[in-house]
Amino acid sequence: TGDYVYPGLAQVQQWLANTQRLAVLTGAGISAESGVPTFRDGGSAFWAQFKPEDMASEKGFRRDPTLVWRWYQYRRELIAAVQPNAGHRALASWAGRHPGCMTLITQNVDGLHQRAGSSGVLNLHGELMQDRWLEAGCGCCRTDEAAAAEPPRCALCGNMRRPAVVWFGEALSPAVWSAAESAANACELMMVVGTSGAVYPAAGLAIRAKRHGAKIVIVNPQPSELDEVADVLLRGPAAQVLPALLA
Ligand code: BJW
């Protein structure tokens, strides 16, 4: 059985069968098997090639907008060319079979949960495929399509388009964050899948859920910074563990 390969799997399946409120917190690792690089682990990870503060902060963007814009354009093309994997699909399918039970909270900006059929996903860190004005609330802004600048700029005031993601030092959407906190407070079981647990406030959701009495299950082939709050660690890749767990 799967429990032979992943000790604790049968225990988690029993919890799943009895839970009314499940929260799932996902990170870059769930998309790894779709071919999307993670941020922190392995030689191909983004932060092995770039400094986080250069590429994922407003300061870094203002310093070199074209470099940062092109990095995001590269990632957009990469995401458009990949597919959701068996891990994303297993979550969507389980939620479909247990209506109203799962809150899916993701740190990922890749949209792969939605493409796998999940609805109501709480995107803590925004959406890669969308952009917005860097200076919000300037009424004059129009992009100059003909100029094809990178990033596109407003012909009148020079305001720049930027990806609609949450950079370091930026606040998460209050509505999304509040829904995620409520789910963490109320869940009986939280599954933490494919995240290093290094980035806050997202990682704090697992600690919050634990404090409120939830069982915590971590799915990750490597140790993470949240392992100490786990009741069960399923040490394997999400695209293998989740289909076995949620079949
Ligand atoms: C597999 C696998 C397989 C591999 N299957 N698993 C408290 C303490 C310390 C610092 C802070 C704190 N509170 C806030 C901070 C500062 C900062 C922060 O957390 N810094 C730390 C890094 C030290 N946080 C912020 O700045 C946040 N904002 C904030 O706090 O605002 C305060 C504020 C309030 C009011 C007004 C103004 C401000 C914002 C954080 C935004 C994070 N943004 C990024 C970039 C998004 C855009 C983009 O994509 O470019 O989000 S950073 C990056 O890290 C991305 C990710 O969502 C995030 C988390 O990474 P994740 O998903 O965990 O990936 P990895 O790579 O770290 O891990 C992958 C894991 O997968 C590994 O464990 C592998 O083993 C595993 N894996 N293959 C399953 N097949």
pLDDT digits (tens, 9 = 90+) for 94-142: 999 999 999 999 999 999 999 999 999 999 999 999 999 999 988 899 8
The model's pTM:
0.97
CA dihedral in degrees (81, 57, 64, 139; nearest 10)? 90
Q: State whether the beta carbon of 65 lies less than 6 angstroms from ligand 1.
A: no
So what's the pLDDT on residue 42?
82
Mean confidence (pLDDT) of the chain = 96
In the reported structure, the alpha carbon of residue 18 is separated from the centroid of ligand 1 by a whole-number distance in angstroms of: 31
What CATH number is given for 37-81+130-165 in this structure? Answer: 3.30.1600.10
So what's the pLDDT on residue 96?
98
What CATH number is given for 1-35+84-125+172-247 in this structure? Answer: 3.40.50.1220
Question: What is the residue with the minimal CA distance to atom 56 of ligand 1?
Answer: 107
- Which residue type, as a one-letter code, is found at position 24? V
- Domain spans in the chain, listed from the N-terminal domain onward: 1-35+84-125+172-247, 37-81+130-165
Residue 206 predicted with pLDDT over 90:
yes
Residue 1 predicted with pLDDT over 70:
no
Active site residue 125: yes
d(CA 100, CA 137): 36
Mean pLDDT of 65-84: 97
- From the candidates 88, 98, 113, 125, give the one annotated as an active-site residue: 125
Q: State whether the beta carbon of 165 lies less than 6 angstroms from ligand 1.
A: yes
- Which residues, 6+ apart, have CB-to-CB distance to 221 below 8 Å? 29, 235, 236, 237
Lowest mean pLDDT of 12-16, 87-91, 137-141, 238-242, name the range: 137-141
